[in-house]
Each structure stands twice: as C-alpha cells, then as structure tokens.
Amino acid sequence: MSEGTRQYYDEKWEEYIERNRGKDLSHLYQLFLRHLSGKVVLDVGCGTGRDLKYFSELGYECTGLDFSDKMLELSQANSPGSTLVKVDLRESFGLPRLYDGIWAVASLHHLSKDELRVCLRNLKGKLSPNGVFMVSIKEREIPLDDGRYFCYWSQKDFESLVASLGFDVVERSLEEGPRVTWLTLVMRVAPEG
C-alpha cells in the first residue's frame, strides 16, 4: 500500500466510513461461505473490521491484517475478539498459522502489479490444504482524486496472473455498477500448484 493510500485511511477514515455505510455485501459473504470448509479466516485489508465482525459473529476464528493504524483501531472496536496484525502487503510477512479461508475484498487493488504478485504468492503459503481464497478487485472505476493508489485489472489478465501462481478459479463474479466494476474470484491452490 502506498504512503498516500495509508495516509488517506488514517486521516479520512470518517469519509471512508460514510461512503461505504449501508453497502450490502451479503452476496459476497454467501459466495465465500459456500466454499469455506474450516473455521479459521484471514481478512486481508480488514479496514474498519466490518467483515471481521460478520465472520466472528458466525463463530469463525478471525485474524485481520491492515497497514493503517486508524483502521486497525476501528477493527479492534468493531471486532474485539479478532487478532489484528499491522502488515505492509508489499513486503514479505509471517503469520503463525494456516487459514481455511482468506478474504481479500476491496484491498489488493491498492498494490501495483508486481507487488500483488509477491503478495499473492505470500498469501498462498498461508492457506490450509483445501483452503479457499476470495479476492475482489476493481476492474474499472471512474477515478477519485483522493490520494489513494489503485491498480485496475481486466478479468483475463487477473485470471492469468492467479493461474501462473498456481491457483484454480472455482467461481467468479463480475458486478458492473455505474461507477465501479468489481471482479471477484474464489480460488483454491491447484493440485499441482
């Protein structure tokens, strides 16, 4: 995550919360849970802790990663039972366990293409056998000039990237809105991956 992106979330968190208030993610939760077989979830870019709270309330053991101190503070308030770790996804990072599910919704598009390749390779090593990894990124957006960095991917290019890293896509979703098109992939490590 770029310094400008981290600064946005640390300083303009109230604006971010207001912009995202009331967003219905039930379809994404259902998509993820349909493929999740275990009880240990990693939320990559956990932000305010909204998703950590949702999964925790369903009985999942959750860990959240974020680079913004303010977002981690909000996550702690929203999901006090979750483990929180400050991580710069651009760098290699260690976690003490494997995860049955990795949830990376609206976070990894803050990484450049090279940074994302490194991050996905690192996260792949955190998946338990038969674990599921769900990524939701922006395919297209009318840009906002607010200091955040975004990297946009076509479906073809993103699926090519994850295949080259040894992931099989088990389900996909493309949501086209007036401002943003979201690409969501549910993946598992390929048998030979």
* Strand 127-141 with 167-176, pairing: unpaired
DSSP secondary structure letters along 139-167: EEE----SS-------HHHHHHHHHHTTE
Using one digit for the tens of pLDDT, what is the confidence trace for 89-148? 888 788 889 999 999 998 887 788 888 899 999 999 999 999 999 999 977 645 566 666
| pLDDT tens-digit map of 72-81 | 999 999 899 9
Residue 43 to residue 105: CA distance in whole angstroms: 8
Contact assessment for residue 187 and residue 169, using Cβ atoms and an 8 Å cutoff: yes
| pTM of the predicted model as reported, rounded to 2 decimal places | 0.85
Please report the domains of the chain, with CATH numbers, ordered by start residue: 3-189 (3.40.50.150)
